[in-house]
Amino acid sequence: MSVKENVLKILLNSQNQYISGENLANILNVSRNSIWKAIKSLEKAGYTINATSNKGYALISSNDILSSTSIKNHIKNQDFFDITVLDEVTSTNTLIKERGNLGEHEGVTIVSGHQTNGRGRLGRNFHSPTDTGVYFSVLLRPKISADKAIFITTMASIAVSEAILEVIKKPAHIKWVNDIFVEDRKVCGILCEASLSMENFDIDYVTLGIGINVYNPNNGFPEEISQIAGFLLEHRQEDIKNKLVASILNHFLELYTEFDTEKISAKYKTLSYVLNKEIFVIKDGEQKKALAIDIDNACGLVVKYDNNSIETLNSGEISTKIIN
């Protein structure tokens, strides 16, 4: 960790208490001048720090800036995730795929506050404006057959829903299969991409990408998603994005370590946004009205059409509203 990251960690843990430059220098075994430079660099990054000559430094506000130091502060299992925060990226999924192809280890995580080429499902773009959302991807190397890959997406959906309830204090629900809804608006999308080994077609690695709209984007949402997209918080809150990312990673790791598919399906069902609702199944450009009647043990969505025929959907797209 750099001096800057170490200073931030100490200030974050000092909870508005002053700590002298001399103390910081002693703890970190560096010069007072290095501490001063670290403080200036934190201020430049947007942190509000009070400095008084007799008391020292106190962190007044982190202005909800994303930082690996703060995320790690809230992570329970320090060994699994290897977290890097970058100001701007093309797409965290694209970057993690590059790392996966290089053979890097499971747990490598890239977090960013801005994507210039955020990718969504079905080749769509994912709106990822600067400073109001958080976008991150995790490299996973699960020892599972390809047909179990769906459970990675469902575990992530559960983890996001649980984290939103824990950190934001709002109930969140999962629209099959990987959109998270709060107050009837999509606040999060998940893109899980598996890379298969060419030798035996087993999973080589998985890129798990999660994008969350935390605040209202400065210029609003683009027209095409304005009827569906929503955000979690009206006003900025101290350190909330870091807490949210950490909580998602904590919840995800618990489920992933256990990999209890029955438990995952059961939880997924209780968090469903569509169960027992009228939905539209989108297939070959057509929208077919149906009732979502069940979610099976493989996380397939069981639907009943108007003519009483029943189908289990294992992939594809549904909508809760008719799309014009």
Q: Using CB under 6 A, count the residues that bind ligand BTN.
A: 20
Could you tell me if 74 and 243 are in contact, meaning their C-beta atoms sit under 8 angstroms apart?
yes
CB of 148 to ligand BTN, least distance (A): 20
Give me the sign of the Cα torsion angle 44, 50, 55, 59: negative
The tokens of 87 are what? Answer: 């100001």
- C-beta of 119: minimal distance to ligand BTN in Å? 4
Of the two residues 93 and 320, which places its CB atom closer to ligand BTN in the complex? 93
**In what helix (H) or strand (E) does residue 136 lie, and over which residues does it extend?**
strand 133-140
Site string for ligand BTN, 96-135 (x = CB under 6 A): -------------------x--xxxx--x-x--------x
Question: Based on CB atoms, which residue is closest to ligand BTN, 35 or 150?
Answer: 150
Q: Is 211 in the site for ligand BTN (CB under 6 A)?
A: yes
Sites for ligand BTN among residues 161-190 (CB under 6 A): 179, 189-190
Nearer to ligand BTN, 62 or 93 (CB): 93
**From the list 21, 100, 129, 209, which residue makes contact with ligand BTN (rule: CB under 6 A)?**
209
Distance (Å, whole) CA 2 – CA 240 = 23
Least CB distance to ligand BTN at residue 275 (A):
20
Q: How far is the CB of 122 from ligand BTN (least distance, A)?
A: 7
Shortest distance in whole angstroms from residue 170 CB to ligand BTN:
19
Number of neighbours of residue 171 by Cβ within 10 angstroms: 12
Q: Among residues 210, 248, 264, 303, which is the contact residue for ligand BTN, using CB under 6 A?
A: 210
Residue with smaller CB distance to ligand BTN, 4 or 186: 186
Applying the rule CB under 6 A, the residues between 54 and 93 that interact with ligand BTN are 91-93
Name the residue number minimizing CB distance to ligand BTN. 189
Q: Identify the three-state secondary structure at position 282.
A: strand
- Smallest gap from Cβ 133 to ligand BTN, in A, equals 8
Closer CB to ligand BTN, 139 or 191, in the complex: 191
Residue 102: helix, strand or coil by DSSP? coil
Query: What is d(CA 21, CA 55) in angstroms, rounded to the nearest whole number?
Result: 9
Question: Can you tell me the distance from the alpha carbon of 126 to that of 139, in angstroms, rounded to the nearest whole number?
Answer: 19
Total Cβ atoms within 10 A of residue 312: 12
Q: How far is the CB of 93 from ligand BTN (least distance, A)?
A: 4
Q: Which residues pair with 181 in a beta bridge?
A: 173, 186
Annotate 73-108 with b (16+ C-beta within 10 A) or e (fewer). Answer: bbbeeeebbbbebeeebebbbbbbbebbeeeeebbb
320 lies in the binding site for ligand BTN (CB under 6 A):
no
Q: Nearer Cβ to ligand BTN, position 17 or 226?
A: 226
Between the CA atoms of 104, 106, 107 and 108, what dihedral angle is there, to the nearest 10 degrees? 20
User: Is 231 one of the binding residues for ligand BTN (CB under 6 A)?
Assistant: no
Minimum CB–partner distance for residue 135 and ligand BTN (Å): 4
Q: Which residues of 243-274 are buried (b: 16+ CB within 10 A; e: fewer)?
A: bbbbbbbbbbbebbeeeebeebbebbeebbbb
Burial code (b: 16+ CB inside 10 Å, e: under 16) for 11-41 equals bbeeeeebbbbeebbeebebeeebbbebbee
Nearest distance in Å: CB 156, ligand BTN: 10
Site residues for ligand BTN per CB under 6 A: 91-93, 115, 118-121, 124, 126, 135-137, 179, 189-191, 209-211
